[in-house]
Structure 1
Amino acid sequence: MKKTVLASLIAMTAMSSNALAADTNTTNNAAKPNVVIFYVDDLGYGDLASYGHQIVKTPHIDKLAAEGVKFTQYYSPAPLCSPSRAGMLTGRTPYRTGIRSWIPDSQNVHIGWGERTLAHMLQDEGYNTALMGKVHLNGGSHMTEHPQAKDLGFDYSFAMYAGWQKNKKVETPNADGSLRHGKIYPDNFIRNGKAVGETNDYAGGIVADESIQWLDTLNKEDPFFLYVPFPEVHTPIASPQKYLDMYSDYITDFAKKNPDLYHWDWKGQPYRGQGEYYANISYMDEQVGRIVSKLKEIGEYDNTIIMFSSDNGPVTREARKTWELNMAGETGGLRGRKDNLFEGGIRVPLIMKGAGITANSQSHEPVYGLDIVPTLSEMVGFELPTDRVIDGVSFTSAFKEGGEVTRTKPMIWTIDMPYQDDPINEYAVRIDDYKLILDRDGNAKYLFNIELDPYEVENLVGKADFKAKVEELSSAYKAYRAEIEQDDILLHHYAKPKA
């Protein structure tokens, strides 16, 4: 990334806007491309074969990478699921949307009613829109005072609103206190507002089935937006035996003898090995492949923009909760994991395929989830809302070899984790190669040069040579934070409108 001074970029905005308008007008005169977004839960930067995993097999996702562009410095909007999803779908820093952390079931927290999502924007362009998988932008489907899938711009939904897969049969403790066993077939899917009830398959397969069936019902004259936020690979993980057999060398004898032992009962039990986690990734990969195959079957693959990414970093072997035991997420050696602002918590895979993207290419340009909406705005040809702040920018320039992205504000990440023993990281801000992590009081805690030190080993805070850099990034953070806290949509359009 070429070194620039952030302030000087503001003068370039008018030129960039004129170029974007020209591109958008060109796109509007052509057939609209379809959009498919695969958004996986808790998948780490190093969890795919195409991102360096030496054991896990992900042939379908790797093929997408071979036919598109792979980003090596893509960041999720936040290190936890709810704020990440809010940021990606709106192009706005999650704190603006009313979501500061993950949302427990029945908690009175939700995305603001005034927010406009990517689905709303594409609906306005005549797109059929569908959501298949995990929503996690409200307290649950039973909380009708919160925006539901339809309110978020989705004509059709097959949604799991809670934070993880449910299965009442195995969630209910055994009366005699013995360990619980049972396949994790979810029973909390809601189809277009109506409960589906018990199912007889694992979550990823059900989501893929529903997606394929929906694609079969479409009027081929209209473009479509299919958003597939898979519940995998969030705990509790569960996969068909075929995939467990693929990784039998990495599954312990205890796990093989107790394949259906429920995750909440893993505490105090023998280690299960990494194989079950690997199996879940390959199972998810197969479901991506099934949906892609359907796009080809109906003749829409070549006219579809496909994006594959993750909502945040992985649960590594450093389990912090009972339900995180025996996970084996990989960050590619990056520091941190899900729930913190070190690279391992926010740097995740991004693969994109579509018109204008060179096959089998790679970009090292720093981009993040808030850029998805502006990027698709340029690729599809729709206007961004003008009545609110959009924090991201288009990164179509990064589709070209060595292409750079112009920003007029720093990249910023937020996460509210007051219940942690050491809640040091609530904000992070990046300008050029430097990233500053600040605590809840706005005190600078860590400064890293990410280009020279991607593993965040050398903390530059407190070193005399970098005092000015800390002050520069701290000032940028303070200005950005003040702007977020005065956001008009957040202050005035959070509550449900009166009928």
Structure 2
Amino acid sequence: MPSTSTASSAPPNIVIIYADDLGFGDLGCYGANGIPTPHLDKMAAEGVRFTNFYATAATCTPSRYSLLTGSYPWRNPRARILDGDAPIIIGPDELTLPGALKRAGYATSVVGKWHIGLGNGKIDWNGEIRPAPVDVGFDESFVMAATNDRVPSVFVKDRHVHNLAPDDPLEVVYGKENPFPEVPTGRSHPELLTLRHGDQQHFDTIVNGVPRIGFCRGGKAATWDDATMTDVFLERAKEFITRRQAGPFFLYLALHQPHVPRIPSARFKGASAKGARGDVIMELDWMVGEVLAHIEALGVAENTVVVFSSDNGPILLDGYQDRADELTGEHRPCGPLRGGKYSLFDGGTRVPTIVWAPGRVTPGESHALLSQLDFLASFSRLAGVPLAEAERADSLELTDAILGKTDRGRDSLVTEGIGSNTLVREANWVFIPPYPGGPFVTNKAVESGTAPEPQLYDLSADVGQRVNLAAAHPERVRAMGALLEAIRDRRSPVT
């Protein structure tokens, strides 16, 4: 168990780098050998590498909501995978991590993928977009509206679409029918595609040769270039860090990789032997290295805490025919875990997590049970911001565990698969209640984790969750079922 070294007494700068659909087994420092990740491996060697760190959900929007609010996503019925025109799901009275840090004088910024909604249900893409990230705790923002496979394929800077030409208004519609018949879609003009869709969802408006989810027209000058998105986000992040280097600052850098469509920059195209998915993971790794190098070059590393994590587990086939399943070879994106994105099994929510803080941690490995929920309470304490009981929601103050000073983390946590299905982990035991549905997620080639009977797994002996012990331990099944219900009903203290 690592321990910390002496650090500055000043509130530290805090950076969260959040990957998208990166698996527990995708990095060299977590045992992968098929895709080179030298920068993240170096980050892990210099920091604390966690083996039991969880996102709250196996899908993107719910996990991102929880990271920023400290609340379980299933407490908010709107915390589901959102369309690109969905309203913001963070309430006006909800405390967020950047909002808490602003109480201590932090400058706060979000760069990259947002996907927690914008506006109040009817967005004027050609005017002011409100509420936006700058209305829920961030001083400034430069984000995608949703995901890189959903329209609109534009960046939103603070409250306005970036680079939008007034004479080319942007229109966005979600629905079954294309309201813009003059605009090519994957269904109507397959000959225009440079990347073919692989399901019945990703075949709407074509942007940069790629069919997206949803329909749009106009806004051509504002349309992003998929292949240069990493560079755009990197430069925005570096500019903020440089401008705010006097500190304290909080940067939430939410990457779009390796989410689909996987389109690497020219410098990384073909760099791996694993196709586009391998290429964009290598590009992600490079970007993290650039951010850390920039922090070091500015001389602020000794008072900066950088967290690297992912919103959920990995997926190979997720809407496009990019041959990720064929080219992955012996590489195991989940490592020893079962499942993946969308799944109730651990592969859906146990994610690679590294904390790099040269002035505060000694390199090592931690087996503490932790959740991204805990960033709110823990980083608030690190910044010297007291929180009222109601403000911390489901977040626990586990600063010492997050900095690697102790392996004592949570006693229990709840995670969510696709939809509203939840499970509970207590110590090394995982209980999954009976749920309807098939064993695989539709069109995704991922085990759902659902079954008509209760499931109980002992992770200390069966990390791959292959041996269901429910029949052998009925008392534990009953106790953990009661614990899950109590947490969901707020009858159990969060521990």
Q: TM-score range by the shorter chain?
A: 0.7 to 0.9
| Pairing 1:206–2:243 present | no
Q: TM-score, normalised by structure 2?
A: 0.76
**Structure with the higher fraction of residues in helix conformation:** 1
Which deviations, in whole Å up to 9, do the C-alpha atoms of 1:235-256 show, x marking residues without a partner? 0011123323322xx3xxxxxx
Between the aligned partners of 1:119 and 1:41, the Cα distance in structure 2 is: 20
The equivalent residue for 1:490 is: none
Q: Is the 8 A contact 2:355 2:402 kept in 1?
A: no
The equivalent residue for 1:303 is: 303
Change (3 A) 1:241 1:89: same
Q: Once the 2 structures are TM-superposed, how far is the Cα of residue 114 of structure 1 from its aligned partner? A: 2.4
Q: Structure 1 residues 382-391 or 221-230, which shifts more?
A: 382-391
The equivalent residue for 2:372 is: 369
Which deviations, in whole Å up to 9, do the C-alpha atoms of 1:37-89 show, x marking residues without a partner? 10000000011111111021112211211111000111111110101011111
| Pairing 1:120–2:129 present | no
1:312-351 to structure 2, matched below 5 A, reads 312-316=312-316, 319=317, 321-322=319-320, 326=324, 328=328, 330-351=333-354
Corresponding residue to 1:96 among 64, 72, 75: 75
The equivalent residue for 1:41 is: 20
Matched position secondary structure for 2:482? helix
How many residue pairs get aligned? The number is 419
Q: Is the 8 A contact 1:141 1:148 kept in 2?
A: no
The equivalent residue for 2:139 is: 155
Q: Is the 8 A contact 1:233 1:281 kept in 2?
A: yes
Q: Which runs of 5+ in 1 are unaligned?
A: 2-25, 189-193, 251-273, 419-425, 486-499
Between the aligned partners of 1:78 and 1:467, the Cα distance in structure 2 is: 27
Between the aligned partners of 2:239 and 2:382, the Cα distance in structure 1 is: 27
Change (3 A) 1:388 1:56: same
Corresponding residue to 2:433 among 428, 435, 438: 438
Matched position secondary structure for 1:277? helix
Between the aligned partners of 2:142 and 2:221, the Cα distance in structure 1 is: 9
Q: Is the 8 A contact 2:193 2:211 kept in 1?
A: no
Which deviations, in whole Å up to 9, do the C-alpha atoms of 1:428-469 show, x marking residues without a partner? 101111111124589862110111111000011222xx1110
Q: Once the 2 structures are TM-superposed, how far is the Cα of residue 228 of structure 1 from its aligned partner? A: 0.2
| Pairing 1:56–2:35 present | yes
Q: CA RMSD in A?
A: 3.5
Change (3 A) 1:180 1:227: same
Matched position secondary structure for 1:113? coil
Q: Which amino acid aligns with 2:386?
A: E
Percent of aligned pairs sharing the same letter = 29
The equivalent residue for 1:455 is: 464
Matched position secondary structure for 1:216? helix
The equivalent residue for 2:63 is: 84
Change (3 A) 1:355 1:395: farther
Between the aligned partners of 1:461 and 1:368, the Cα distance in structure 2 is: 25
Change (3 A) 1:399 1:38: closer
Q: Is the 8 A contact 1:91 1:373 kept in 2?
A: yes
| Pairing 1:387–2:412 present | no
Q: Is the 8 A contact 1:187 1:197 kept in 2?
A: no
1:176-325 to structure 2, matched below 5 A, reads 177-181=190-194, 197-200=222-225, 201-218=227-244, 220-247=245-272, 250=273, 274-316=274-316, 319=317, 321-322=319-320
Which deviations, in whole Å up to 9, do the C-alpha atoms of 1:368-410 show, x marking residues without a partner? 1112222223333222243345323233443687933254x63
Q: TM-score, normalised by structure 1?
A: 0.75
Q: Which runs of 5+ in 2 are unaligned?
A: 124-128, 154-182, 196-207, 214-218, 437-449
Q: Is the 8 A contact 1:41 1:232 kept in 2?
A: yes
Q: Is the 8 A contact 1:110 1:147 kept in 2?
A: no
Which deviations, in whole Å up to 9, do the C-alpha atoms of 1:4-56 show, x marking residues without a partner? xxxxxxxxxxxxxxxxxxxxxx99x9311100110000000011111111021
